[in-house]
Structure 1
């Protein structure tokens, strides 16, 4: 997928990135440990994109992500995504995931059931692991059975997932984990 532009911006969990085309977001990058590493990851994912000031719609997404990661219960469902090239099953799983409110969680099995495909929890987990727009598609709000963390492919792994859930109020603060 070709992005027109991308930007790196500061958040409460570190420098994140956003890539867009037209009026739609096509990628979000969680922190890679530094702004330069986040920038490098975006440049690798979107080699034709140019780092530039966000368009008005991209800036709206940036503002929403920053607010959400500062603890504001922000719903990012109004951010337009371009998921061209994303498998249909993944898109359907992402649509359901986008309905999970800040501070709430669902399990992989819950999403599989809502897809009308009970027994596909592992496939839902794989879809979450390939999510091109984390935070906007809040895969961090999807847990394994019994409220267990499950996986998280972003830099920092499950600790990043848990930190985001603590910020949103879905988990009690556990400062020894971060």
Structure 2
């Protein structure tokens, strides 16, 4: 599976591709580096997004996260949250069905963070959690970058 890493303000990130689609974004530098056209375009898009997220819109390349149908439904709803906006676990649960807890579990298992913007989901009282390498500090940083806080 081709992987390509990039330097970011949150530290090194690694994109992985399978069958012409992005399947994961992980914290850390990947062992293997393969410059496919998709991975290079995705890396360049992310570089620009970290500079000006409000001008970049949604991630324009195909995503194929591995997950259950319910998780994929949650992740699709995350992609519809505009840059600079947040929603709550409770509001997302009402939108897609399920409980705030089940939504939180699906959000926490998002294999393509930032591109599937799980950082835009917050708790009723506070930020909630974040599974990125820097935890809530990364979530707060991403929301500040998007001017959502």
TM-score (norm 2): 0.91
Distance 2:9 2:134 in 1: 14
| Structure 2 unaligned regions, length at least 5 | none
Kindly indicate whether the alpha-carbon contact (under 8 Å) linking 1:79 and 1:136 is maintained by their aligned counterparts in 2: no
Deviation at 1:16, TM superposition (A): 1.2
Q: Could you report, residue by residue, the CA deviation over 1:68-125 in whole angstroms, capped at 9, with x for unpaired residues?
A: 22233222342211234x11111000000001111111111111111033xx111111
Query: Does residue 87 of structure 2 align to residue 106 of structure 1?
Result: yes
| Structure 1 unaligned regions, length at least 5 | 31-37, 44-49, 172-178
What count of residue pairs does the alignment treat as equivalent? 148
Kindly indicate whether the alpha-carbon contact (under 8 Å) linking 1:111 and 1:121 is maintained by their aligned counterparts in 2: yes
Query: Does residue 73 of structure 2 align to residue 92 of structure 1?
Result: yes
Distance 1:18 1:5 in 2: 8
What is the RMSD computed on CA atoms of the aligned residues? Answer: 1.5
Query: Does residue 8 of structure 2 align to residue 11 of structure 1?
Result: yes
TM-score (norm 1): 0.77
**Deviant stretches of 4+, over 4 Å:** none
Kindly indicate whether the alpha-carbon contact (under 8 Å) linking 1:13 and 1:69 is maintained by their aligned counterparts in 2: no
Q: Larger Rg: 1 or 2?
A: 1
Counterpart of 1:62 in 2: which secondary structure?
Answer: helix
Kindly indicate whether the alpha-carbon contact (under 8 Å) linking 2:65 and 2:112 is maintained by their aligned counterparts in 1: no
Kindly indicate whether the alpha-carbon contact (under 8 Å) linking 1:64 and 1:76 is maintained by their aligned counterparts in 2: no
